[in-house]
Amino acid sequence: MPSKSLTSHYKPANSLESPRYTGVRTFARLPNVQTVENVDIAVIGLPFDTGVTYKVGARFGPEAVRSASVLLRSYNPALKVNVFDTLSCIDYGDAPVVPGFTEDSYAAITRTLQPLAEAGVITLGIGGDHSIALPELRALAAVHGPLAMVHFDAHCDLWDSYFGHKYTHGTPFRRAVEEGLLLPERSIQLGMRGTLFDHEDSQLSQDMGFLALTTSHLLTYTPEEIGNLVRERVGDAKVFLSFDVDFFDPAYAPGTGTPEVGGPTSFQGLAYLRACTGLNWVGADVVEILPAMDHSQITAHLAAQVGYEFMSLVALSHQSK
């Protein structure tokens, strides 16, 4: 399906006419407008980190990713698609979260995203801690029904609670399953690793119906093989991408709150993501970017690239229709 109207096609500023270091920072220099008319993808900042259990500061992640994203260009040579000629995209701004109040912030995020989903706009959330995936899924599932999920992460985020509380960045997908927002049998988790509280924790994904590949297992596959596995798992279901930057080894993504050593390189991770073609995407997020720990914007640049690769996958799907 082509963009909704080429007469009102939202594109980035032309960096051959205005330097990248000028202007207000938006994702990929896209126009900052709050509209659903003639929009294919809306980028939304989700600056919330009350759900973290270790290092705080991911509330500044959207700002950092926007700043780094000015280096993105329209044509993706790896996927052979001109993203912003194919899609009409905007930076919608930030959801009005309530610092320190988790459930109030969740409600605000859902209220922000649901009208976009109802209008057929694909949402790309920039976080923020991973707990924001739950209100995103509430908004999207209210419109599309239960979703499949492709989840890149070092952690399964399926714990029942932390410190007796149900809403943290370690629990969003258990809550999403309990609320009927996700289809575990159509979902896949990639990159699981790190120490656990107990042996039983290694079975959480399997027990809840997810297919989960540890990092060691993942790296035995080529990107093409992972793409085939993801398509087989998801099928024709509507699907949500959730990408935690701690999926990458901290050498490539140091700016995150709960890093896990022994992860994929940026090259490997992007190759696995690019292989996830041919899916019916309805939304995505890139989360857990912590600028205070991110020397030289390493993580912010990588997170911006992840968001751009998601846009590229959507653009490919539009071209094929």
Strand partners for 253: none
Residue 1 lies in a domain: no
Provide the whole-model pTM: 0.94
Residue 87 lies in a domain: yes
How much is the pLDDT for 6? 47
Spatial separation of the C-alpha atoms in residues 140 and 134, rounded to whole Å: 10
Spatial separation of the C-alpha atoms in residues 265 and 285, rounded to whole Å: 20
Mean pLDDT value across the chain = 94
Residue 225 lies in a domain: yes
**Looking at the predicted structure, is the pLDDT value of residue 164 above 90?**
no
Strand partners for 81: 76
Spatial separation of the C-alpha atoms in residues 82 and 183, rounded to whole Å: 32
CATH of the domain at 178: 3.40.800.10
Residue 66: which H helix or E strand, with range?
A: helix 61-68
What digits encode the pLDDT tens for the residues 218-264?
999 999 999 999 999 999 999 999 999 999 999 999 999 999 999 99
Residue 287 lies in a domain: yes
Q: Which domain holds residue 178?
A: 6-319
Residue 241 lies in a domain: yes
How much is the pLDDT for 168? 87
What residues contact 55, with CB distance under 8 A and at least 6 apart?
257, 258, 290, 293
What digits encode the pLDDT tens for the residues 19-76?
888 788 999 999 999 999 999 999 999 999 999 988 999 999 999 999 999 999 999 9
